[in-house]
Amino acid sequence: MYDSSPRHGEFRTRRRGNRGFDDDAPITAKRTRRRSLPPVDYTTDGLPEGDRWSTWDQSIPTQRGPLPHPDWLVTDLAAVDTELGILKTGKEADVFLLRRGVPQGRSCLLAAKRYRDAEHRMFHRDSGYLEGRRTRDSRVSRAAANRTAFGRQAIAGQWADAEFNALSRLYAAGVCVPYPVQVLETELLLEFVGSADGIAAPRLAETRPDPASLAALWDQLVSALVMLARDGLAHGDLSAYNLLVDDGRLVMIDLPQVVDVIANPQGAGYLTRDAENIGRWFTARGLDGAASPAPADLPALLRREAMLDD
């Protein structure tokens, strides 16, 4: 049951309404101006106001998603990023809808997640999540620890990098997550999970699955969480609000706070909390008591898979 791997590819949904990428109420997507761009020098000569040339060539190979790149992804240097509106505002980041395409040619939709800079609120209660993370630059480490202006900006970049690296690692392992296209400073570009007309897939919390669908979603969730645990990871903030349901498939999102359960002294606690939180949701929705594992047994299963129990 745990080894079934979700398929990756174009995401479609018939669900109407715009859905967000974290716990806050979603905002309807419409044509808007960019609000909080990362400090990257985007060249816009000859482009309409609000658009930019593709940033693909500004990223180095380690800042791009796993190989091979999906067929749907546009990597042409002549492509233009057109901002279509805002998908979601949150405490730590805003998510925008982009269309990257070649004029009179192919295009793809992307979700641009932009983490707040030093002048905005940072990730709430971030100190626990940062335990066990290290940077090679000791000056950056000291500044981040002291929460100087430079340090807060560095932490914003660390959140983007952490989410990009986690998504790359999980995507390559077969976990159903959005394909991580690229990361540039505090902006993370992701595969848009939704329909071709820009309607996002609903979050699990917004669905009302029948008993059979609920059991199928539970099986997919357990499989994904077991893969994370075997890789020494916990989501860190798992709930029904950061799982998308795309035509019956469960897609895990929002991983900036991903926790290394071995390096982080609180790793076992985060792993257990994730399992208990999501297990309560499924139990409240009437998951059949014959489910294997039962929600109450999930925390112990994940601790064993992560080799945290003696």
Catalytic residues: 237, 254
Which distant-in-sequence residues (6+ apart) come within 8 Å of 173 by Cβ?
Answer: 227, 231
Give me the residue label for tokens 């790149």.
Answer: 69
Q: Single out the residue of 273, 264, 262 nearest to residue 298, CA to CA.
A: 273
Identify the bridge partners of residue 194 per DSSP, sorted by sequence position: 200
Asked if 202 and 244 count as a contact pair (C-beta separation under 8 A), the reply is yes
Residue 177: what are its φ and ψ, rounded to 5°?
-130, 160
Which distant-in-sequence residues (6+ apart) come within 8 Å of 268 by Cβ?
Answer: 261, 303, 306, 308
Residue 149: what are its φ and ψ, rounded to 5°?
-60, -45
* Residue 231 identity: D
* Residue 76 identity: D
